[in-house]
Structure 1
Amino acid sequence: MSAPSAEPAPATDVEVVLRKAGRTKIRYPARLLSDDGTRVTVRAPWAGAGVRDFGFVRFEPGDVFVEHFWRDRWYAVKEVYAADGTLKGWYCDVTRPAVRDGAVLTVEDLDLDLWCSADGTTILRLDEDEFAESPLLESDPPAAAAAMAALDDLEQLAKEGGHFPRTG
Protein backbone atom coordinates (compact mmCIF):
# COMPACT_ATOMS: atom_id res chain seq x y z
CA MET A 1 0.00 0.00 0.00
CA SER A 2 1.43 3.35 -0.99
CA ALA A 3 1.26 6.46 1.15
CA PRO A 4 -1.26 9.08 0.05
CA SER A 5 0.28 11.75 -2.11
CA ALA A 6 0.66 15.18 -0.64
CA GLU A 7 -1.61 17.89 -1.94
CA PRO A 8 0.26 20.32 -4.16
CA ALA A 9 1.29 23.51 -2.44
CA PRO A 10 -1.03 26.41 -3.25
CA ALA A 11 0.26 28.78 -5.90
CA THR A 12 1.83 31.85 -4.38
CA ASP A 13 1.86 33.89 -7.57
CA VAL A 14 -1.21 34.87 -9.54
CA GLU A 15 -1.94 37.07 -12.48
CA VAL A 16 -4.69 39.61 -11.93
CA VAL A 17 -6.68 40.34 -15.08
CA LEU A 18 -8.84 43.45 -14.98
CA ARG A 19 -11.40 43.51 -17.77
CA LYS A 20 -13.58 46.43 -18.79
CA ALA A 21 -16.30 46.49 -21.44
CA GLY A 22 -15.33 43.01 -22.62
CA ARG A 23 -11.61 43.77 -23.08
CA THR A 24 -8.57 43.30 -20.94
CA LYS A 25 -7.65 46.66 -19.44
CA ILE A 26 -4.54 45.51 -17.53
CA ARG A 27 -2.81 42.32 -16.42
CA TYR A 28 -0.27 42.24 -13.64
CA PRO A 29 1.52 39.73 -11.43
CA ALA A 30 0.64 39.57 -7.75
CA ARG A 31 1.57 37.52 -4.71
CA LEU A 32 -1.32 35.44 -3.39
CA LEU A 33 -1.69 36.16 0.33
CA SER A 34 -4.86 34.19 1.01
CA ASP A 35 -7.89 32.56 -0.57
CA ASP A 36 -10.57 31.34 1.81
CA GLY A 37 -13.00 30.36 -0.95
CA THR A 38 -14.89 33.67 -0.72
CA ARG A 39 -12.20 36.35 -0.52
CA VAL A 40 -8.94 36.35 -2.43
CA THR A 41 -6.21 38.70 -1.16
CA VAL A 42 -3.13 39.55 -3.21
CA ARG A 43 -0.20 41.95 -2.92
CA ALA A 44 1.20 43.74 -5.94
CA PRO A 45 3.39 46.73 -6.72
CA TRP A 46 1.82 49.65 -8.59
CA ALA A 47 1.36 48.21 -12.07
CA GLY A 48 0.88 51.47 -13.95
CA ALA A 49 3.48 53.19 -16.04
CA GLY A 50 4.92 56.10 -14.07
CA VAL A 51 2.85 58.32 -11.81
CA ARG A 52 -0.93 58.61 -11.94
CA ASP A 53 -2.10 61.73 -10.14
CA PHE A 54 -5.83 61.80 -9.41
CA GLY A 55 -5.62 65.09 -7.50
CA PHE A 56 -6.72 63.44 -4.26
CA VAL A 57 -4.02 60.70 -4.35
CA ARG A 58 -0.97 59.81 -6.42
CA PHE A 59 -0.17 56.26 -7.44
CA GLU A 60 3.54 55.98 -8.19
CA PRO A 61 6.39 53.54 -8.57
CA GLY A 62 7.16 51.99 -5.20
CA ASP A 63 3.53 51.99 -4.07
CA VAL A 64 2.18 48.64 -2.94
CA PHE A 65 -1.42 47.49 -3.25
CA VAL A 66 -2.98 44.84 -1.04
CA GLU A 67 -6.08 43.92 -2.97
CA HIS A 68 -9.15 42.09 -1.70
CA PHE A 69 -11.46 40.46 -4.23
CA TRP A 70 -14.67 38.65 -3.37
CA ARG A 71 -16.49 35.90 -5.19
CA ASP A 72 -19.79 37.00 -3.65
CA ARG A 73 -19.54 40.81 -3.69
CA TRP A 74 -19.69 43.34 -6.49
CA TYR A 75 -16.52 45.19 -5.51
CA ALA A 76 -12.82 44.96 -4.77
CA VAL A 77 -11.03 46.92 -2.03
CA LYS A 78 -7.41 47.90 -2.53
CA GLU A 79 -5.27 49.11 0.35
CA VAL A 80 -2.76 51.58 -1.11
CA TYR A 81 0.60 51.95 0.62
CA ALA A 82 3.42 54.36 -0.19
CA ALA A 83 6.92 52.97 -0.68
CA ASP A 84 7.71 53.74 2.97
CA GLY A 85 4.76 51.62 4.16
CA THR A 86 2.45 54.52 5.00
CA LEU A 87 -1.21 53.78 4.21
CA LYS A 88 -2.49 56.29 1.65
CA GLY A 89 -6.05 54.97 1.71
CA TRP A 90 -8.41 52.56 0.00
CA TYR A 91 -9.26 52.56 -3.69
CA CYS A 92 -12.41 50.56 -4.27
CA ASP A 93 -13.49 49.25 -7.66
CA VAL A 94 -17.06 48.23 -8.34
CA THR A 95 -16.72 44.94 -10.22
CA ARG A 96 -18.57 41.77 -10.94
CA PRO A 97 -17.66 39.06 -8.42
CA ALA A 98 -14.11 37.80 -8.93
CA VAL A 99 -13.30 34.51 -10.63
CA ARG A 100 -10.12 32.59 -9.86
CA ASP A 101 -9.03 29.86 -12.23
CA GLY A 102 -5.75 28.45 -10.96
CA ALA A 103 -3.16 31.20 -11.12
CA VAL A 104 -5.43 33.69 -12.90
CA LEU A 105 -7.76 36.02 -11.00
CA THR A 106 -10.22 37.83 -13.27
CA VAL A 107 -12.44 40.78 -12.39
CA GLU A 108 -14.66 42.91 -14.59
CA ASP A 109 -14.56 46.63 -13.82
CA LEU A 110 -17.99 48.30 -13.93
CA ASP A 111 -16.71 51.90 -14.04
CA LEU A 112 -17.77 53.01 -10.56
CA ASP A 113 -15.08 53.61 -7.95
CA LEU A 114 -14.72 55.00 -4.45
CA TRP A 115 -11.70 56.55 -2.72
CA CYS A 116 -11.33 56.73 1.06
CA SER A 117 -8.25 58.45 2.49
CA ALA A 118 -6.29 56.74 5.27
CA ASP A 119 -7.66 59.15 7.86
CA GLY A 120 -11.23 58.73 6.58
CA THR A 121 -11.74 62.46 6.01
CA THR A 122 -11.95 62.20 2.22
CA ILE A 123 -14.55 59.88 0.70
CA LEU A 124 -15.14 60.32 -3.01
CA ARG A 125 -17.57 58.55 -5.34
CA LEU A 126 -15.83 58.37 -8.71
CA ASP A 127 -16.73 57.83 -12.36
CA GLU A 128 -20.50 58.00 -11.97
CA ASP A 129 -20.57 59.94 -15.26
CA GLU A 130 -18.76 57.08 -17.07
CA PHE A 131 -21.18 54.59 -15.55
CA ALA A 132 -24.20 56.65 -16.67
CA GLU A 133 -22.87 56.53 -20.24
CA SER A 134 -22.00 52.84 -20.20
CA PRO A 135 -24.18 50.36 -22.08
CA LEU A 136 -24.59 48.29 -18.89
CA LEU A 137 -27.66 50.26 -17.83
CA GLU A 138 -29.56 48.99 -20.87
CA SER A 139 -27.79 45.71 -21.62
CA ASP A 140 -27.83 44.28 -18.08
CA PRO A 141 -30.12 46.22 -15.72
CA PRO A 142 -29.70 43.73 -12.82
CA ALA A 143 -25.90 44.12 -13.01
CA ALA A 144 -26.24 47.90 -13.17
CA ALA A 145 -28.45 47.85 -10.07
CA ALA A 146 -25.95 45.59 -8.27
CA ALA A 147 -23.13 47.98 -9.20
CA MET A 148 -24.96 51.01 -7.81
CA ALA A 149 -25.83 49.10 -4.63
CA ALA A 150 -22.16 48.09 -4.28
CA LEU A 151 -21.04 51.73 -4.54
CA ASP A 152 -23.60 52.69 -1.88
CA ASP A 153 -22.33 49.84 0.35
CA LEU A 154 -18.71 50.97 -0.09
CA GLU A 155 -19.60 54.55 0.77
CA GLN A 156 -21.43 53.39 3.89
CA LEU A 157 -18.43 51.27 4.96
CA ALA A 158 -16.16 54.29 4.48
CA LYS A 159 -18.44 56.59 6.48
CA GLU A 160 -18.67 54.07 9.33
CA GLY A 161 -14.85 54.02 9.46
CA GLY A 162 -12.56 51.13 10.21
CA HIS A 163 -14.50 48.59 8.17
CA PHE A 164 -12.15 48.25 5.21
CA PRO A 165 -9.61 45.45 5.30
CA ARG A 166 -6.15 46.42 6.46
CA THR A 167 -3.21 44.07 6.40
CA GLY A 168 -0.31 46.51 6.78
Structure 2
Amino acid sequence: MSANSAESARLLEVVLVKAGRTKIRYPAELLHDDGTRVTVRAPWAGASVRDFGFVRFEPGDVFTEHYWRDRWYAVKEVRDAAGVLKGHYCDVTRPAAVLGEELVVEDLDLDLWRSADGAAVLRLDEDEFAASGIETADPRAAAAALDALDRLEAMAREGDFEELLSWPPRSAAG
Protein backbone atom coordinates (compact mmCIF):
# COMPACT_ATOMS: atom_id res chain seq x y z
CA MET A 1 0.00 0.00 0.00
CA SER A 2 1.44 3.39 -0.84
CA ALA A 3 1.06 6.60 1.13
CA ASN A 4 -1.51 8.90 -0.43
CA SER A 5 -4.35 11.13 0.69
CA ALA A 6 -6.98 8.41 0.33
CA GLU A 7 -4.92 6.10 2.53
CA SER A 8 -4.33 8.76 5.19
CA ALA A 9 -8.10 9.16 5.61
CA ARG A 10 -8.53 5.43 6.31
CA LEU A 11 -9.26 4.29 9.85
CA LEU A 12 -8.04 1.11 11.47
CA GLU A 13 -9.22 -0.35 14.74
CA VAL A 14 -6.15 -1.01 16.91
CA VAL A 15 -6.74 -4.17 18.94
CA LEU A 16 -4.32 -4.82 21.80
CA VAL A 17 -4.49 -8.42 23.00
CA LYS A 18 -2.93 -9.56 26.27
CA ALA A 19 -2.97 -13.10 27.65
CA GLY A 20 -5.47 -14.16 24.98
CA ARG A 21 -8.00 -11.41 25.76
CA THR A 22 -8.65 -8.04 24.16
CA LYS A 23 -7.21 -5.47 26.56
CA ILE A 24 -8.25 -2.38 24.60
CA ARG A 25 -9.43 -1.40 21.14
CA TYR A 26 -9.61 2.07 19.64
CA PRO A 27 -9.89 3.75 16.24
CA ALA A 28 -6.75 5.23 14.71
CA GLU A 29 -6.02 7.11 11.52
CA LEU A 30 -3.78 5.13 9.17
CA LEU A 31 -0.83 7.33 8.21
CA HIS A 32 1.26 4.76 6.36
CA ASP A 33 1.48 1.05 5.59
CA ASP A 34 4.36 -0.12 3.43
CA GLY A 35 3.73 -3.82 4.01
CA THR A 36 6.25 -4.00 6.86
CA ARG A 37 5.66 -0.96 9.07
CA VAL A 38 2.21 0.40 9.88
CA THR A 39 1.95 3.91 11.34
CA VAL A 40 -1.27 5.21 12.87
CA ARG A 41 -2.29 8.25 14.91
CA ALA A 42 -4.84 8.28 17.69
CA PRO A 43 -5.81 10.35 20.71
CA TRP A 44 -5.15 8.89 24.17
CA ALA A 45 -7.63 6.04 24.39
CA GLY A 46 -7.85 5.89 28.18
CA ALA A 47 -10.99 7.00 29.98
CA SER A 48 -9.00 9.22 32.36
CA VAL A 49 -5.49 10.35 33.28
CA ARG A 50 -2.93 7.58 33.75
CA ASP A 51 -0.01 8.72 35.88
CA PHE A 52 2.99 6.42 35.68
CA GLY A 53 5.14 8.66 37.88
CA PHE A 54 7.57 9.38 35.05
CA VAL A 55 4.86 10.54 32.58
CA ARG A 56 1.13 11.26 32.56
CA PHE A 57 -1.10 10.17 29.70
CA GLU A 58 -4.18 12.35 29.62
CA PRO A 59 -7.05 13.50 27.43
CA GLY A 60 -5.69 15.60 24.58
CA ASP A 61 -2.50 13.57 24.22
CA VAL A 62 -1.84 12.27 20.72
CA PHE A 63 -0.05 9.00 20.00
CA THR A 64 1.71 8.35 16.70
CA GLU A 65 2.16 4.59 16.82
CA HIS A 66 4.59 2.53 14.77
CA TYR A 67 4.00 -1.21 14.41
CA TRP A 68 6.04 -3.74 12.46
CA ARG A 69 4.99 -7.02 10.90
CA ASP A 70 8.55 -8.35 11.29
CA ARG A 71 9.62 -6.97 14.69
CA TRP A 72 8.70 -7.83 18.24
CA TYR A 73 7.88 -4.29 19.36
CA ALA A 74 5.80 -1.18 18.77
CA VAL A 75 6.95 2.40 19.39
CA LYS A 76 4.48 5.11 20.34
CA GLU A 77 5.46 8.76 20.11
CA VAL A 78 3.47 10.66 22.75
CA ARG A 79 2.70 14.38 22.41
CA ASP A 80 0.56 16.61 24.57
CA ALA A 81 -2.40 18.60 23.24
CA ALA A 82 -0.06 21.47 22.26
CA GLY A 83 2.13 19.10 20.24
CA VAL A 84 5.04 19.02 22.71
CA LEU A 85 6.83 15.67 22.74
CA LYS A 86 6.49 13.85 26.07
CA GLY A 87 8.51 10.83 24.98
CA HIS A 88 8.25 7.36 23.48
CA TYR A 89 6.39 4.46 25.05
CA CYS A 90 7.45 1.13 23.61
CA ASP A 91 5.53 -2.12 23.90
CA VAL A 92 7.21 -5.47 23.39
CA THR A 93 4.74 -7.41 21.25
CA ARG A 94 4.51 -10.21 18.78
CA PRO A 95 4.76 -8.86 15.21
CA ALA A 96 1.64 -6.91 14.25
CA ALA A 97 -1.00 -8.14 11.82
CA VAL A 98 -3.50 -6.15 9.78
CA LEU A 99 -6.65 -8.22 9.48
CA GLY A 100 -9.23 -6.40 7.39
CA GLU A 101 -9.83 -3.10 9.18
CA GLU A 102 -8.08 -4.21 12.39
CA LEU A 103 -4.46 -3.80 13.44
CA VAL A 104 -3.97 -6.65 15.92
CA VAL A 105 -1.05 -6.68 18.35
CA GLU A 106 -0.31 -9.13 21.17
CA ASP A 107 1.28 -7.39 24.17
CA LEU A 108 4.00 -9.45 25.90
CA ASP A 109 4.11 -7.33 29.09
CA LEU A 110 7.58 -5.82 28.65
CA ASP A 111 7.70 -2.06 28.03
CA LEU A 112 10.27 0.70 27.68
CA TRP A 113 9.95 4.45 28.23
CA ARG A 114 12.27 7.04 26.68
CA SER A 115 11.77 10.65 27.77
CA ALA A 116 11.60 13.39 25.14
CA ASP A 117 15.17 14.50 25.88
CA GLY A 118 16.46 10.93 25.96
CA ALA A 119 17.79 11.38 29.50
CA ALA A 120 15.45 8.79 31.03
CA VAL A 121 15.28 5.28 29.59
CA LEU A 122 13.26 2.92 31.77
CA ARG A 123 12.66 -0.82 31.41
CA LEU A 124 9.13 -1.55 32.66
CA ASP A 125 7.03 -4.50 33.75
CA GLU A 126 9.77 -7.13 33.83
CA ASP A 127 8.03 -8.57 36.91
CA GLU A 128 4.77 -8.97 34.94
CA PHE A 129 6.68 -10.68 32.14
CA ALA A 130 8.30 -13.13 34.58
CA ALA A 131 4.92 -13.85 36.22
CA SER A 132 3.17 -14.38 32.86
CA GLY A 133 4.62 -17.87 32.42
CA ILE A 134 5.67 -17.19 28.82
CA GLU A 135 9.23 -18.33 29.47
CA THR A 136 7.89 -21.84 30.13
CA ALA A 137 4.87 -21.82 27.80
CA ASP A 138 6.65 -20.33 24.77
CA PRO A 139 10.43 -20.08 25.32
CA ARG A 140 11.04 -18.95 21.73
CA ALA A 141 8.64 -16.02 22.08
CA ALA A 142 10.08 -15.17 25.51
CA ALA A 143 13.60 -15.04 24.06
CA ALA A 144 12.41 -12.85 21.15
CA ALA A 145 10.65 -10.52 23.60
CA LEU A 146 13.71 -10.13 25.81
CA ASP A 147 15.88 -9.54 22.74
CA ALA A 148 13.42 -6.89 21.51
CA LEU A 149 13.55 -5.08 24.87
CA ASP A 150 17.36 -5.13 24.80
CA ARG A 151 17.37 -3.74 21.23
CA LEU A 152 14.89 -1.00 22.11
CA GLU A 153 16.93 -0.02 25.14
CA ALA A 154 20.15 0.11 23.11
CA MET A 155 18.49 2.28 20.43
CA ALA A 156 17.00 4.56 23.09
CA ARG A 157 20.33 5.02 24.86
CA GLU A 158 22.37 5.41 21.67
CA GLY A 159 20.06 8.01 20.12
CA ASP A 160 18.85 5.80 17.27
CA PHE A 161 15.13 6.36 17.93
CA GLU A 162 14.82 9.21 15.47
CA GLU A 163 16.35 7.03 12.76
CA LEU A 164 14.08 4.11 13.69
CA LEU A 165 10.96 6.27 13.30
CA SER A 166 12.04 8.37 10.32
CA TRP A 167 10.20 8.15 7.05
CA PRO A 168 11.34 6.88 4.72
CA PRO A 169 13.28 4.52 6.99
CA ARG A 170 17.04 4.98 6.96
CA SER A 171 17.84 1.94 9.08
CA ALA A 172 17.22 -1.76 8.82
CA ALA A 173 17.81 -2.23 12.58
CA GLY A 174 15.37 -4.74 13.88
How far does residue 163 in structure 1 lie from its aligned partner after superposition? 2.2
How far does residue 103 in structure 1 lie from its aligned partner after superposition? 1.2
Q: Which residue of 2 aligns with 1:65?
A: 63
| Large movers: runs of 4+ above 3 Å | none
Give 1 or 2 for the bigger CA radius of gyration: 1
How far does residue 166 in structure 1 lie from its aligned partner after superposition? 5.9
Structure having the larger proportion of residues in helix: 2
The superposition leaves residues 104-163 of structure 1 with CA deviations (integer Å, 9 ceiling, x where unpaired) of 000000000000000000000000000011121111000000000000000000011142
Q: Which residue of 1 aligns with 2:25?
A: 27
Q: Which residue of 1 aligns with 2:39?
A: 41
The superposition leaves residues 51-108 of structure 1 with CA deviations (integer Å, 9 ceiling, x where unpaired) of 0000000000000000000000000000000000000000000000000012100000
Q: Which residue of 1 aligns with 2:155?
A: 157
Q: Which residue of 2 aligns with 1:85?
A: 83
Structure 1 unaligned spans of 5+: 1-8
Identity of aligned residues (%): 72
CA distance in 2, matches of 1:106, 1:64: 20
TM-score (norm 2): 0.89
Deviates more, 1:157-166 or 1:74-83: 157-166
Structure 2 unaligned spans of 5+: 1-5, 168-174
CA distance in 1, matches of 2:52, 2:83: 20
Q: Counterpart amino acid of 2:33?
A: D
